[in-house]
Structure 1
């Protein structure tokens, strides 16, 4: 660019062999005449358009710069002197030059490979593959989205299977604090039961409480679990009562007991265990690894990928308690 500007400056000078850009100091009259001639030639040349030098037409920055140099050379030649900025580096502050993508990127190769449209969001891509991912506690916003996705996938094709990946703590947080009502889990469960599609459920991290119910509610033979995932069933928690009167607390407690009985019946239905067995193990939080969840009937298959040997070497919890002399009280 500097060579192009230098060539432009040289083209403004008169082509007379006797002309010198610096007039001799010995003759004042001839020096004044030469200076006037230089100014006249400069103005005449400045009024004419400078031919655009050959550049890469795909480079937006150089194209804009050459266009300004050809149409308005005074913007580049008559520049104010600024000691704080090196010569010609302040052109990057020009809004006329920087109104193009050159402000951010000046690499033609990068511009050519940049995507023309923004990529779609990840949930939409998963939904396009008929995948519903539950990766948060079952709060109203999650329930609304999951139910809507299930309804949409059934409307789209009632014969194709739906894949539900679960990594959720149910209606509670990791520390056991209640974050949602039990009806959130029941809403998703009822939607699953209304589907005509085959539902594949996969536990990829943890399925606790109501999330464990959703895991077991998949189509028989299509309920899967990752080797190191965990499942846990527990009784519903009583929400924080705050400053409620005693009568309201009693009403809430009765509602929690009703939800517990419903949860026990549904787990008994999908796991194949008796109601008494499920109610007995749910007295306290009941954790299950993949083999134990398969034995209990929550899942049908474990998605092994070479981890069989690792899991086989792990001592079962009952044997560990026996070796450590720990007696479990039921």
Structure 2
């Protein structure tokens, strides 16, 4: 009796485990031959799959637009947005730099104190214009305090100015000098060294002559001071000789006038022989000859169609 009860209990437990396993397998097993109803919500697949649209819904235009937008978003390419305003009319190519435009018009600009970098650039420009078109006039505009700053502190050497002067005489082209602001010290000497009849000042410009100055270099021995004194005297004599040649005054008169800074307004500079004329601003174009119109500059720079 007891053994029979145990047998029936074992059989019932085994049958229960079998039923549980069968139920789990039936749930895990895929349904074969049964067609699931598609979801009625349109969804976008990954970039590698096509966009799914519910069957029976004929939206060719919508399908194309959604696919194009999905591809663009997945590609990471930025959207193209048309912008108006200034950028819409921006030049296709950048305009040339201003010094190049001036140099193309044979204009040399001296607008800084005369230091080594400035003198090297001016000399290079003069030589370039000479070999490009020998004999054609060069126009030098001057607004410089020479080898000193406006406060009188020395920043350059007299030899920088004489190097520019020698190059002006070396080239075969006439150099017209025009003072548009200030021409002080060696810059005034360069102004006076322009071609005769082609030296000019604007109505409110200023010219000034002073003796050579040397930069402070700290303590020196007595022999070094004597050597430097001889060098400065030689540079002073060179400057006096250049000014005498181009103004017609004697070295003695120039030396006496330069004992103190000699300021000259346009009429004074004209009387002293530094310049040959005082021109009004509207007549500058007549002084420098043919000037390209703004439209011609833009066309050559590629800013407008030819």
Query: TM-score, with normalisation over the residues of structure 2?
Result: 0.71
Q: 1:119 aligns with which of 95, 99, 102?
A: 95
Q: CA deviation at 1:192?
A: 0.3
Could you say which residue in structure 1 is the equivalent of 2:229?
253
Q: CA deviation at 1:283?
A: 0.4
Count of aligned positions? 236
Please say which structure displays the higher CA radius of gyration: 2
Q: CA deviation at 1:219?
A: 0.6
How do 1:230-269 and structure 2 match up within 5 A? 230-269=206-245
Could you say which residue in structure 1 is the equivalent of 2:3?
none
Instruction: State how far apart, in whole Å, the 2-side matches of 1:283 and 1:263 are.
Output: 14
How do 1:1-330 and structure 2 match up within 5 A? 37-39=39-41, 41-42=42-43, 47-48=49-50, 50-52=63-65, 67=68, 69-71=69-71, 96-98=76-78, 106-107=82-83, 112-305=88-281
Instruction: State how far apart, in whole Å, the 2-side matches of 1:205 and 1:45 are.
Output: 70
> 1:227 touches 1:304 (CA, 8 Å); kept in 2?
yes
- Structure 1 gap segments, 5+ residues each: 1-32, 54-65, 76-94, 307-330
- Structure 2 gap segments, 5+ residues each: 1-35, 52-62, 283-306
Change (3 A) 1:172 1:48: same
Change (3 A) 1:48 1:146: same
> 1:238 touches 1:252 (CA, 8 Å); kept in 2?
no
Q: Which has the higher contact order (CA 8 A, sep 6+)?
A: 2
Change (3 A) 1:97 1:217: same
Q: CA RMSD in A?
A: 2.7
1:270-302 deviation line (CA, Å, top 9, x unaligned): 011111111111000000010000000000000
Instruction: State how far apart, in whole Å, the 1-side matches of 2:182 and 2:236 are.
Output: 20
